[in-house]
Structure 1
Amino acid sequence: MIEILSPGQLAKARTSGALVADILRTLRGRAEAGTNLLDIDRWAKEMILDAGAQSCYVDYAPSFGRGPFGHYICTAVNDAVLHGRPSDHTLVDGDLLTLDLAVSQDGVAADAAISFVVGGAGDAESTALITATERALAAGIAAAGPGARVGDLSHAIGTVLHDAGYPINTEFGGHGIGSTMHQDPHVPNTGRPGRGYRLRPGLLLALEPWVMADTAALVIDADGWTLRSATGCRTAHTEHTIAITEVGAEILTLPFR
């Protein structure tokens, strides 16, 4: 299903998006050496419920997972990159942590992810991975607007990641979002320009470049959810939810001002 939001729904999406961004900003500030991933999950739960919102993850049970996700945020550390299920793991300085959060408020969802190094002083590889995903996301957003095609966004994202020297996995990528978290169209992280669905005002997209340092292959943990690099290399993942407008793209997952 491809959903086009009304102006009223778009206003609700802005609220959901800002909430997601504020929660991620708060959690980033709290994540330090000695923090347990289950504490991050608990903090996310408290902030979501205090805002009168709903988690898109806790009851999420797609075909590729193993039962309901059962947690309120994805926490991926070092070689984990997607669907990181919070566990009894304590962070140390230098860990590369990705927080991925999707929340629904007043019936409209928003989704975003950030990657950062715990303790702030990242090694060169971690810094390069994070920077590449941030630059690729910015390129994808710049390519988005009414009349653009999905392939234009994929090509813009993929060009940055390819030029940075990273292999690209196309099993998981960006997606439509609205009354539910995952919708069509799928937005791969590489592609050919001029191909695919033509974007229309009112369409919401979650764009999410993610890379692994030296492989495009994934392996899955025994928890049935957490996806890791097949070689054990480090990974990074950055995501925003955007709305296609009459004149371009509006980033919805920015903190409240």
Structure 2
Amino acid sequence: MIEILSPTDLPRARDTGALVAGILQTLKGRSVVGTNLLEIDAWAQSMIIEAGAQSCYVDYEPSFGRGPFGHYICTSVNDAVLHGLPHDYTLADGDLLSLDLAVSLGGVVADSAISFIVGEAQPPESVALIDATQRALSAGIAAAGPGVRVGDISHAIGSVLGAAGYSINTEFGGHGVGSTMHQDPHVSNTGRPGRGYRLRPGLLLALEPWVMADTATLVTDPDGWTLRSVTGCRTAHSEHTIAITEDGVEVLTLPRS
């Protein structure tokens, strides 16, 4: 399903995006050496409920997962990159943490992810991974707009990731959002320009470049959810929800100053 929102829906989408961005920035500030992943999940739960919003993850039960996700946020550490199931792990100095959050407010979903390094250590490989996904995300956003093809966005993202020397996994990527979290069209993190669905005003897309340092192959944890690099290398993930407008693009999940 591809859902096109009306212009009257855009203010609600902005509100949801602002909520997601605000929660992620608060959690980033609280995620220090000694923080437990289960604490992060509990903080996310509290902020979502306090805002009168609904988690998109608690009852999430896709074909590739094992039963309902049962938590409020994805917490992926170091070699984990996607769908990190919060568990009893205490963050250490230099850990690379990715937080992925999707929330519904007023009937509209927004989805965003950030990656950052915990503590004082700044491992160069981790810095480079995060930088590449952020630059790829910016390139994908810059390529989007009314009349643009999905392949144009995929090509822009993949060009940045490939030029940085990373292999690109195409099993998971960006997607449409609207009244539900995962909709068509799928937005691969690499592709050919001029191909695929033509973007229309009112379409919401979650763009999410992610990479692993030395592989494109994933392995699933025994928890049935957490996806890791098969080699144990570090990973990073960046994501924004954008709205296609009549005259361009609006990024809905940018932190408000």
TM-score bracket, shorter-length normalisation? over 0.9
Matched to 1:241, the amino acid is: T
Which residue is 2:9 aligned to?
9
Counterparts in 2 of 1:67-146, with a 5 A limit?
67-146=67-146
After TM superposition, give the deviation of residue 8 of structure 1 in Å. 1.9
SS in structure 2 at match of 1:45: helix
SS in structure 2 at match of 1:147: coil
Which residue is 1:200 aligned to?
200
SS in structure 2 at match of 1:138: helix
Q: Is the 8 A contact 1:155 1:191 kept in 2?
A: yes
CA deviation digits over 1:96-151, x for unaligned, max 9?
00000000001000000000000143211000000000000000000000000000
After TM superposition, give the deviation of residue 173 of structure 1 in Å. 0.1
In structure 2, relative to structure 1, the CA distance for the partners of 1:146 and 1:120 (3 Å cut) is: farther
After TM superposition, give the deviation of residue 220 of structure 1 in Å. 0.2
The yes-or-no answer on 1:174 pairing with 2:188 is no
Cα distance in 1 for partners of 2:29, 2:126 equals 19
The yes-or-no answer on 1:43 pairing with 2:49 is no
SS in structure 2 at match of 1:214: coil
TM-score (norm 1): 0.99
Which residue is 1:211 aligned to?
211
After TM superposition, give the deviation of residue 256 of structure 1 in Å. 3.3
Gaps of 5+ in 1: none
Cα distance in 2 for partners of 1:122, 1:201 equals 41
Cα distance in 2 for partners of 1:86, 1:198 equals 37
Cα distance in 2 for partners of 1:255, 1:8 equals 22
Cα distance in 2 for partners of 1:104, 1:151 equals 27
What is the RMSD of the two structures over their aligned residues, measured on CA atoms? 0.6
The yes-or-no answer on 1:20 pairing with 2:34 is no
Matched to 1:154, the amino acid is: S
Percent identity over the alignment is 78
Matched to 2:27, the amino acid is: L
Q: Is the 8 A contact 1:115 1:238 kept in 2?
A: yes
After TM superposition, give the deviation of residue 223 of structure 1 in Å. 0.4
Matched to 2:117, the amino acid is: V
Matched to 2:209, the amino acid is: P
CA deviation digits over 1:145-177, x for unaligned, max 9?
000000000000000000000000000000000
Matched to 1:237, the amino acid is: H
SS in structure 1 at match of 2:127: helix
Which residue is 2:240 aligned to?
240
Which residue is 1:231 aligned to?
231
Cα distance in 2 for partners of 1:121, 1:149 equals 41
Q: Is the 8 A contact 1:76 1:99 kept in 2?
A: yes
Cα distance in 1 for partners of 2:246, 2:120 equals 39
CA deviation digits over 1:30-54, x for unaligned, max 9?
0001000000000000000000000
Number of paired residues? 257
Cα distance in 1 for partners of 2:206, 2:212 equals 20
In structure 2, relative to structure 1, the CA distance for the partners of 1:120 and 1:110 (3 Å cut) is: farther
Cα distance in 2 for partners of 1:254, 1:40 equals 20
Q: Stretches of 4+ moved more than 6 A in 1?
A: none
